[in-house]
Amino acid sequence: MRKHRKVMIVGVAVVLLLAMVPFFGFHGGKTRPPDISKQAPLVHVQQVKRADMMRHVILSGQTVAEATVDLAPRYTGRIVAVNADLGDEVRAGDALLVQDMEDMDISIRQNMAAAKAAAEDASLAEVSYAANYIMAENAFSLERSKYERNQYLYSIGAISRDTLDSVEKEYMAKKTAFEVLENQAADGSPASVEAKRYAAEQQSIAIEALRKQREDLVLRAPRDGIISYRNAEAGAMVTAGTRVFSLVDTRRLYVDCNLSEKDVVVLKAGQSLSMEIDAMGSDCEGEIVYVSPAMDESSKTYLVRILLQVPENAARAGLFARGRMDVLQRSQTIFVPKSAVIDRDGHMAVLLVREDGTAEEREVRIGLANDKEVELLSGVVEGEIVILDNQDKLKDGDALEMAGEAA
């Protein structure tokens, strides 16, 4: 019985020893710690290459007609005829509205009569002056001959000094009268005649002004277009300056876009693009025809105007349009996605992949930027591998796991 008990104790000890073998090593009987390795973060990478850096510019705005003109009469008066309605196509010079001209016609006739009278008065003054001039010239000529003859008679003692003085006085009077008339015409017509002519000319100018006013009583289309507004009826009174028509010229259609300074610097007149107009359900070719040289102070943007190539019957103002342009920013330069550049206490940096597969942080100097990429002016050379994400989980020298074409 005792022997059987010993056998059982030995068996239990052997079982315990076998159970403890996995927990002890074979090197001095020390325990082996579990193997817990740190997992490297997964990052996306990209190889740096030289290429043309493009800027993607979005242009959007509303279509604008070539011209929208509000028309109003220049004078207050009664409307006698309206010759255009909403939607009518009109040509430049077409009479749209006519005002009452009766009072104007009376004024024109009155001024024509006054102008004719003034012209006759000027002609009469000219004839009168000519007659007076001839008479004065003849009288002066006769007195001069008489005076010269009496001078000779006095020289031979045939007449007295008193007689000569009397003849001389008469001669000087005729001479003065003639010189007065002659001096009046020294620069052309005499002043008395010119005054009459100016009066007649003033009447003619007044007639021209009245005729111009009469013409302005007919409101005409200043250009080709379509009547988009009408507020005039025959028989009604209209006040000067009141809008009665609006004319829209849609022969050419534009899109006005407001852009930031970063986008506008890469645009210039003559560039082409495609514009999408939702209301028309189609795209239209467009050309930039104007880039504002100065910023609008209220909106802090720059105006860019695009000329659209649209069918004439499809042209409408006020439609929303948008387009996109890829414009060259820099030729053959190094640039990376914006996500690759990180800010280290005010210094720009990127994380690169060394040949041994570890991360390397390097400071860079940035240049141009667009909505997706940023140019690197220094710090990175062509062919290196740049890390695009998960930079916050890495520091210089850390191992990493790569994904992407350059992995």
pLDDT digits (tens, 9 = 90+) for 135-188: 988 988 998 999 889 998 888 888 888 888 898 899 898 888 888 877 776 566
Q: In the chain, what percentage of residues exceed pLDDT 70?
A: 88
Rounded CA separation 272/285 (Å): 7
pTM beyond cutoff 0.85? no
Integer-rounded Cα Rg, in Å, for the chain is 52
For residue 274, list its beta bridge partners: 285
Averaged over 361-365, what is the pLDDT? Answer: 93
93 conformational bin, left if phi > 0, alpha if psi -120 to 50, beta if neither = left
pLDDT 10s digits, 234-262: 999 999 999 999 999 988 999 999 999 88
- List, in order, residues 6 or more apart from 134 with CB less than 8 Å away: none
Q: What is the largest CA-CA distance in the chain?
A: 214
The whole-number pLDDT of residue 208 equals 93
CATH C-level class of 331-403: mainly beta
Q: Check: CB of residue 385 under 8 Å from CB of residue 400.
A: no
- Determine the Cα–Cα distance for residues 236 and 223; give it in Å rounded to an integer: 26
- 3-class secondary structure, 127: helix
Contact 406, 46 (CB under 8 A): yes
d(CA 363, CA 348): 6
| CATH fold group of domain 73-99+218-243 | OB fold (Dihydrolipoamide Acetyltransferase, E2P) (2.40.50)
Bigger pLDDT: 106 or 179? Answer: 106
Give the Cα separation of 210 and 221 in Å (integer): 21
Please check the confidence at residue 281 and state whether its pLDDT lies above 50: yes
Residue extents of the structural domains in the chain: 73-99+218-243, 103-214, 249-328, 331-403
Percent of the chain with pLDDT over 90: 53
Give which of 373, 243, 224 is closest to 312, Cα–Cα: 224
| The CATH classification of domain 249-328, taken from the options 3.30.1340.30, 2.30.38.10, 2.40.30.170, 2.60.40.3880 | 2.40.30.170
> pLDDT tens digits, residue range 33-92?
444 345 778 899 999 999 999 888 999 999 999 999 999 999 999 999 999 999 999 999
Structure tokens at 381: 């050379």
In this predicted structure, what is the pLDDT of residue 39?
74
CA distance 130 to 317: 70
CA-wise closest residue to 99 among 290, 272, 232, 256: 232
Per-residue confidence (pLDDT) for residue 105, from 0 to 100: 94
Q: Show Cβ contacts of residue 389 under 8 Å, excluding neighbours closer than 6 positions.
A: 43, 44, 339
**Structure confidence at residue 335 (pLDDT):** 95
pLDDT tops 50 at residue 32? no
Distance from C-alpha of 362 to C-alpha of 45, rounded to nearest angstrom: 15
- Dihedral angle over CA of 351, 353, 357, 359, nearest 10: -20
pLDDT at 338 over 60: yes
Residues in contact with 284: Cβ distance below 8 Å, sequence separation at least 6, in sequence order: 274, 275, 276, 277, 308, 309, 310, 321
Alpha-carbon distance of 183 to 189, in angstroms, equals: 10
Give, in order, the Cα–Cα distances in Å from 253 to each of 61, 273, 310, 314, 387.
12, 15, 8, 10, 48
| pLDDT of the residue at 37 | 45
DSSP annotation of 392 reads: G
Whole-number pLDDT of residue 346? 86
Burial of 31 (0-12, 13-18, 19+ CB in 10 A): exposed
Q: Encoding tokens for residue 177? A: 């009268």
Give the per-residue pLDDT at 36: 39
> Among 8-12, 73-77, 176-180, 218-222, where is mean pLDDT lowest?
8-12
Other beta carbons within 10 angstroms of residue 238's beta carbon come to 20
For residue 229, what are its two tokens? 């507004």
Q: Do residues 219 and 71 touch, judged by C-beta distance below 8 A?
A: yes
- pLDDT band (50, 70, 90) for residue 18: low
What count of residues does the chain have? 407
Beta bridge partners of 378: 365
